[in-house]
Structure 1
């Protein structure tokens, strides 16, 4: 999945030069933009040719949202390992007002054959453009939508996902209800839809259990994310990361 040192930054490339097709030898001092490369292969063997890499444009000037955080790596790894579930399925990635951010889990889903929509707050045009550029450099045609979770924006009604993906969705308590309101709406409109999220245990699972009960949801699978991440990749991750699959309660119609 990763190389011997884990997923690393390729500081010899920056987003602007990659898209333009020219080369540069360092991270741009002006834009502070860099690309990290993430590997997904069987048996941690990149030489086997069975797998792929995903390049992610990151902006190291941003306070948050445009980095590849540990939860995104864990969730992307889970998508890779469960790839047969995602092939030919409709996938939406996004998390509360931060949206998909750097989009790693969604891009992995697209690589394994899913029809992917990436979302972020419509008030964040720079992030939306960053996602479009990231799709471009990976040769992927993902739909990118401005969508604020918790608000009934028109694009919301065009979505029919089989899976919702969210890395670090449970970060700020004040956003939790907005997240569950939108996720529940989509799951009700799309029978069988599964919401899969990776989050740091700092959020407190008791609060998450309360929210699931409040919004008529239940957790069907809860994992220690490190149980699914190869050692070489796990060595670069920090904190206690949980991975949960959430669905509507059976009696919800």
Structure 2
């Protein structure tokens, strides 16, 4: 669990600063870990003194979940730009991995629960498609998911969990960033199957500052998904 004041973070995973710019990193040869720093400021103005940075420890030897991938950067930037929506709200990040979007949400004032599979001991263990006890304790206003639409075999389980939480929490919005390789037609089919609809679909690069966009690759979409009976 994390909150906007930072008092519940693991300090080894996050640090704040008022310096602006694009992501930087440092690598330790001995441990094969990398610390990447991600900046969030108004208009990407280095001299503004506004905003903060988030440090993420990435493990180069671990599986793909321990890297900050482009979708996480795009979703985190979207949270920053939409920060007024998240202040004092309850946020759950699904498949958190290195947790950049969720940590940014916490820094802008949300009450955040980071979830992933049980192999990641630093977050709440939650298996998509299974009715784990922690699932019933969550009451999110927003669900966040970066690159969770990656493996087709997981899509139904993901939507089962997401729609369960949205049904239990009226007004809940699922915001996800994904590579176009996932196939929006398949995602549209899954939304229809699970009684959902997309209320906003963006090219994620339209929301990312040029200094960050130049370091991202691929076609990234950002979607806001709600239940069909959601009133907008």
Structure 1 residue 63, shift from structure 2 partner: 2.9
In 1, the alpha carbon distance for the partners of 2:22 and 2:85 equals: 38
Runs of 5+ consecutive residues of structure 1 not aligned to the other structure: 128-144
In 1, the alpha carbon distance for the partners of 2:44 and 2:230 equals: 42
Structure 1 residue 149, shift from structure 2 partner: 1.3
In 2, the alpha carbon distance for the partners of 1:79 and 1:183 equals: 19
SS at match of 2:3: coil
The TM-score normalised by the length of structure 1 is: 0.79
Structure 1 residue 7, shift from structure 2 partner: 25
The TM-score normalised by the length of structure 2 is: 0.86
Over 6 Å off, 4+ runs: 1-26
Moved more, 59-68 or 75-84: 59-68
User: Any conservation in 1 of the 2:140–2:165 contact (CA below 8 Å)?
Assistant: yes
User: Any conservation in 1 of the 2:178–2:220 contact (CA below 8 Å)?
Assistant: yes
**RMSD (Å) for aligned C-alpha atoms:** 7.0
Structure 1 residue 191, shift from structure 2 partner: 0.1
> CA separation of 1:6/1:45 partners in 2, compared to 1, >3 Å: closer, same or farther?
farther
Runs of 5+ consecutive residues of structure 2 not aligned to the other structure: none
Structure 1 residue 62, shift from structure 2 partner: 1.5
User: Any conservation in 2 of the 1:58–1:68 contact (CA below 8 Å)?
Assistant: yes
> CA separation of 1:69/1:6 partners in 2, compared to 1, >3 Å: closer, same or farther?
farther
> CA separation of 1:64/1:19 partners in 2, compared to 1, >3 Å: closer, same or farther?
farther
Residue of structure 2 in register with 1:138 after alignment:
none
User: Any conservation in 1 of the 2:15–2:54 contact (CA below 8 Å)?
Assistant: no
